[in-house]
Chains A and B, each alone.
Chain A
Amino acid sequence: MNPQRIVSLRVNGVQRDVLAPANRLLVDTLRDELGLNGTKIGCGVGVCGACTVLLDGRTVSSCLLLTVMAEGAEITTVEGVTPTNGLHPVQAAFIDHGGLQCGACTPGQILAAMNLLEEEPSATPTQVADWMSGNLCRCTGYYGIVEAVLSRSRTGETGTDVKEAGTS
């Protein structure tokens, strides 16, 4: 029962073969086996977004995926998008626009924002609010987050629209 198995993952561009029992969650493998503590554990049921990682380029809740379900997949964590020196432009935007305070939700917010901007390079305030609504922040509130994401969108829309979108 529950024998360990070798699961082949590609994490942040590096092949990682991990030994995992079937009931080990992906978030636990990332944090405890691979030492990638940027991915946080929040609600544990896929609602808060703290454990957001990219699976083959798309956001997922790593607290809801068994490690074995990610076999063969390309996983990107916040460590994988942060350059050795400096910050990714989306990370810098969060600082510039006050999109973070305690920082617990930020790795998930960054990955969610990057996935949105990849799919919708000209994301509108409403699209940003809709997409980011799955990532909860309990201290900053959302204006700064929405503004940060919009500042990297080609539309470059900010101001009153952001407020309206953020409160809808």
Chain B
Amino acid sequence: MRAFDYLEPGSLSEALGLLQDLGPDARPLAGGTALVPEMKTGACRPLQLVSLRRLGDVLAGVRVEQAQVIIGPMTTLNALERDAKLAEVMPSMRALLSRVANVRIRHIATIGGSLAQRDPGYDPPVLLAALDAQVRLLTAESARLVEIADPEATRGAVGLDVGELLGDIVIPLPSATTAIAVAKHTPRTFVDRGVVTVACAVELGARGELTKVCIALGGVAARTLRSREAEDRLTGRVWDEEAVASAAATAAAAVLPVGDGRGSVNYKRAMTEVFVRRTLAQAYREAADRRTEAKTHV
């Protein structure tokens, strides 16, 4: 591994100042589970690493509030997986995270890192995209909220520019009639990357119509994305197998997977269709069950 300077700023403003001053040769370091392997192969050759480890107090932690969940970017995937309150309000988070890499990686890798890497094969951003989550992008001079599944795709699934750091991830709490389902399809064990990762959110209205449908996909395009066209095909309608099949086909037609050892382009596209359909159906069933439950309790 090439030599570099290692800096450990003690405050967020110091870290942002350093990254701005040092420019493109510097990289921020959180868990390092992605960055260190890249540095070993030489794919990434920073001259300075700006470690965020002393900023854990300000950048890590989970807060479940009335209308939203706020997650510090330095929160490890394992800490999110263990968080009992988060599991209560957002069980899909634990369901997906328990299927990400192995537990050693989850002990170290951070949720912010999974967004900063902007790797479409990463699972956590897929769920965040389906949840309409936003993340604060910080520089020495500014802070702005960006959508994780930015429809303009300029910051889709985020990444970091020179001088930037991630701040809080803000997730609106799903409504009581919303259910979320996730699926990671891999013919091997879940430790491997998925062929396709799907996260779907379905909200049911008073008459059983789909008032909101979110479909997020990972692993099958250059970026983690939302299938807005497929979502539009279902929103406002009642559940109908044919319409769902057609929406899944729409989602699959729009992806641009790369053929590799995990499957050909055609296979990945076919699996996208299958898993969008299944994941939507699961989310719908759960939302419908919840609705029935709520009615019987009245």
Contact = CB atoms under 8 A, between A and B. Distances in A.
A-B residue pairs, 5 tightest by C-beta:
A134-B102, A2-B3, A22-B6, A23-B1, A59-B104
A58 B107 contact: yes
Size bracket, chain B contacts: 20 to 34
B103 A131 contact: yes
* Most-contacted residue by chain A among B47, B104, B105, B108 (CB, 10 A): B104
Given A2-B4, A2-B5, 16 more contacts: A1-B47, A2-B3, A2-B6, A22-B4, A22-B49, A23-B2, A44-B40, A46-B104, A47-B191, A58-B78, A59-B104, A61-B33, A61-B105, A64-B37, A65-B32, A66-B32
A134 B8 CA distance: 31
B3 A1 contact: yes
Contacts of B191: 47, 133-134
B186 interface: no
Interface in B34-63: 36-37, 39-40, 47, 49, 51, 53
Contacts of A61: 33, 104-105, 108
A131 B99 CA distance: 11
Contacts, number: 86
B99 to A, nearest CB: 9
B28 to A, nearest CB: 13
7 contacts: A23-B3, A46-B104, A59-B107, A61-B108, A130-B98, A131-B103, A133-B102
Contacts of A23: 1-4, 39
B104 A66 contact: no
A23 B108 CA distance: 18
A68 interface: yes
Interface string B171-200: 000000000000000000111000000000
Given A64-B37, A69-B53, A134-B191, A22 B102 contact: no
Size bracket, chain A contacts: 20 to 34
A61 B104 CA distance: 6
Contact of B104 (A5, A21, A22, A60): A60
B37 A45 contact: yes
Given A58-B107, A130-B98, A68 B4 contact: no
A134 B47 contact: no
Interface string A116-158: 0000000000000011011100000000000000000000000
A2 B176 CA distance: 53
B118 to A, nearest CB: 19
Interface of A: 1-3, 5, 21-23, 25, 44-47, 49, 52, 55, 58-61, 64-66, 68-69, 112, 130-131, 133-135
Contacts of B29: 69
Contacts of A130: 98
A30 to B, nearest CB: 15
A23 to B, nearest CB: 4
Nearest to A72: B53
A52 B189 contact: no
Contacts of B49: 22, 66
A69 B51 contact: yes
Contacts of B2: 23
Contact of B5 (A22, A47, A135): A22
Given A2-B4, A58-B107, A133 B189 contact: yes
A46 B105 contact: yes
A69 B4 contact: no
B36 A64 contact: yes
A52 B104 contact: yes
Contacts of B8: 68
A154 B79 CA distance: 25
Contact of B103 (A25, A44, A65, A134): A134
Contacts of A44: 37, 40
Nearest to B78: A58
Contact of A64 (B3, B32, B190): B32
Contacts of A2: 3-6
Nearest to B107: A58
B102 A68 contact: no
A65 B36 contact: yes
Contacts of A22: 3-6, 49
A55 B107 contact: yes
